[in-house]
Structure 1
Amino acid sequence: MKTVAIIKYNAGNIRSVLFALERLGVAATVTDDHELIRQSSHVIFPGVGAANSAMPYLQERGLDQLMLSLTQPFLGICLGMQLMCRHSEEGDTKCLGMFDIAVRKFPATDDDGQRIKTPHMGWNSLYNLQSPIMKGVDENAFMYFVHSYYAEISSHTIAACNYALPFSAALQKDNFFGVQFHTEKSAAAGEQILKNFLAL
């Protein structure tokens, strides 16, 4: 039986993730209890907010070290994925480091000098899809994004997206997965990724 823990911390958007899981027939527990998280079959680490306020909260409760020690399938969403990287320019924040990648602020202008609107907000397409978590998702599928910072392209990139420049839309290393877009707001394609994660 699947037991899904959603990590509770001071970053919003947990309710929409809960509803998305309910639509898939999965009841999840929102918790910061170390033992409950350890015992869960799957762990989801969502988030909307700022890296420099989220990390101290995680550290105070020992959740940073706990998450690094987990061996079950683990999915970070939006800010959750960024916090799984090594460092964020948002508040010059040292993050969890599951992925040895820097998170950077989108530039103010593109190569042609055109102003870039931030946050990157709305629907945008993925490409170069890899990993079992992307099974059944079409190349160029559209996902819903809201973010002003991006993870660089790296060897851990399992889906890319373009907004002024190419960036990592999804990452994987071992049991750790991260998506920059909101699976829970990305219609059928986002639901498929959640299904694939839960099937791991």
Structure 2
Amino acid sequence: MHIMTIDFEASCLPRHGRSFPIEVGIADGDRSRSWLIRPHDDWSGWDWTAEAEALHGLTRDRIVREGQPAAVVLAELAAATQGCRVVADSLIDQYWLDTLAAAAGAPTPFKIQHVVTLFDEQGADARRVAAAMAFADGQGATRHHAAGDALWLSALIAHMRGVATLSPTPHCLTLFAPE
């Protein structure tokens, strides 16, 4: 099954309070797409930290103005990932996907697997993982932005699997726009 990577940015980390997703990005090879997520009414009163805002650079005002409704983001995200194995580098991404789906009033469209599962499948040792991380670091992805983090993870997986790039599947070509 084709691998697509995903990353969420959020209002805060859960250790700082109740957090909600504010951006989601996916990558397929060297192509990426991201969505800003307008805060849902159900998230009123949930936490927002200056630390998170400084990290991802997204203000609450911007996501209110430019964000898409949860249902729109979820539907487009589900369509873009259809038939793909979706992988993240943090277990918390599943929580934010579930939170997005709940706000949209829809079931969670897929399960996110942790990248360690791929490492185990590949029999990757610490040296091989470190080499893949160094490769991904050298690709110039903008970190702490959802699409950039998804691109970084895509590069890491491609290197670890010995694939030059994770070229997009045909259905993804029409769903992705350059960032």
Q: Shared topology, TM-score over 0.5? A: no
TM-score by length of 2: 0.30
Higher share in helix: 2
